[in-house]
């Protein structure tokens, strides 16, 4: 299941805060702040989708993520590779290195990362 752009923005704040009450989440937004009802609605939808849960403290709810940011991002990247690059990570990597504005230094750093991964796989 996927999050909308508004849900992703709220989820980003929740990942940063790790645990947060409604007021903390609203405070994390830049001005103009969203309406409380909007944030409550987003949290409810995110809870229904299995991304967020909460603990009750009296009448207050402390929200926390159920999905790690890295896992969410990985699922999106893998979905993009499947949908746009015929499920080929090689095609994606080729496109990424040719189509982004990586400097020579960044490409060299990427090469080091790839070389390290190659060595791990050989063991």
Domains of the chain plus CATH, in order, are 5-65 (1.10.10.10), 69-122 (no CATH)
Looking only at the bridges linking them, the beta strands covering 60-65 and 20-21 are antiparallel
For the chain, list the strands marked E by DSSP: 20-21, 52-57, 60-65
pLDDT at 123: 80
Predicted model pTM: 0.75
Q: Give me the mean pLDDT over the 15-32 stretch.
A: 96
- Percent pLDDT > 70 in the chain is 100
Residue 60: band (very low, low, confident or very high) from pLDDT cuts 50, 70, 90: very high
């Amino acid at each position: 299941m996927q999050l909308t752009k508004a849900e992703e923005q709220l989820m980003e704040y929740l990942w940063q805060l790790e645990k947060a009450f409604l007021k903390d989440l609203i405070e994390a937004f830049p001005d103009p702040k969203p309406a409380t009802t909007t944030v409550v609605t987003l949290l409810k939808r995110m809870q229904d989708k299995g991304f967020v849960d909460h603990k009750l403290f009296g009448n207050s709810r402390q929200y926390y993520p159920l999905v790690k940011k890295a896992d969410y991002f990985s699922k999106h990247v893998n979905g993009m590779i499947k949908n746009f690059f015929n499920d080929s990570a090689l095609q994606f990597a080729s496109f990424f290195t040719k189509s982004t504005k990586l400097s020579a230094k960044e490409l060299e750093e990427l090469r080091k990362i790839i070389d390290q991964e190659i060595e791990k796989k050989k063991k």
